[in-house]
Chains A and B, each alone.
Chain A
Amino acid sequence: SQKIEQNSEALNIQEGKTATLTCNYTNYSPAYLQWYRQDPGRGPVFLLLIRENEKEKRKERLKVTFDTTLKQSLFHITASQPADSATYLCALVSGNQFYFGTGTSLTVIP
C-alpha cells in the first residue's frame, strides 16, 4: 500500500530563515504531487502542484522540488514569517483518490 511520510512532526525555525519540509513516498509512481497548508481547526488549502517531469516549481516565497528517483519532494519557504506557522501536508493523487502525508507542523519564531 502507498506510504507517504513527512519529516519530523514539528519543525521550529527563526523568522527570516528558510524552512525545508520533506515528503517521502513508497510503493507509488505519482504523475504529480501537491502541497497543502492547514491551519488549526480549518480545512487544508492548496498551495502548489508539481508534475513528475518538473524538477522545480516556484510561487512567491514557496519552492517545491520533485525527485522521482529518490521518491521525494522538498518544500521550501524562504524568508519565513510567523504567519507561515501552520501544518503543511503533501498529497499524492491516484485516480480520484488523494493520499495525504503525515504532515509537518511548522512554527516560525519571531
Chain B
Amino acid sequence: DTEVTQTPKHLVMGMTNKKSLKCEQHMGHRAMYWYKQKAKKPPELMFVYSYEKLSINESVPSRFSPECPNSSLLNLHLHALQPEDSALYLCASSQASGSGIDTQYFGPGTRLTVL
C-alpha cells in the first residue's frame, strides 16, 4: 500500500467551529507532515512529526493543533479559523530512514473553506 489518505476531501466551516483533518498511511513511514497550499503557490510546511514526536512547528498559529496518535495517523485540529486560512491542506509521509535520502508521499489534500 503506497497511498496516503486524507479525510475529508472538502470541508466548509464557520469561524467558530471546531473540526479535524485526518491523514493515514500504512507504508511504515516514520515522518509525517502537514502543509498548507494556497492557489498557485508551493506547499508551505506547517508541522513535522518524526517517530510520533513533533519535531518542527513552523510558527503556525495556535488555532491549528496537530496530533499524532500513532505512527500511521496524523490529525490536524482546527478551531476559530479565519477566512484567510482557506486553502488546500496536504498531508505527506516519508521513510525518515536516516540514510540521508528521503522522498515524500502526499495525500490528495483537504480543500478547506472558512466562512
Contact = CB atoms under 8 A, between A and B. Distances in A.
Interface of A: 9, 31-32, 34, 36, 41-46, 49, 51, 89, 91, 93, 96-103, 105
Contacts of B101: 32, 49, 51
Contacts, number: 59
B100 A49 contact: no
SS of B interface (majority): strand
Contact of B106 (A31, A45, A99): A45
Given A96-B48, A98-B104, A100-B42, A41 B111 contact: yes
Given A96-B55, A98-B45, A41 B104 contact: no
A34 B103 contact: yes
8 contacts: A9-B40, A43-B107, A44-B106, A46-B105, A96-B31, A97-B48, A98-B104, A100-B42
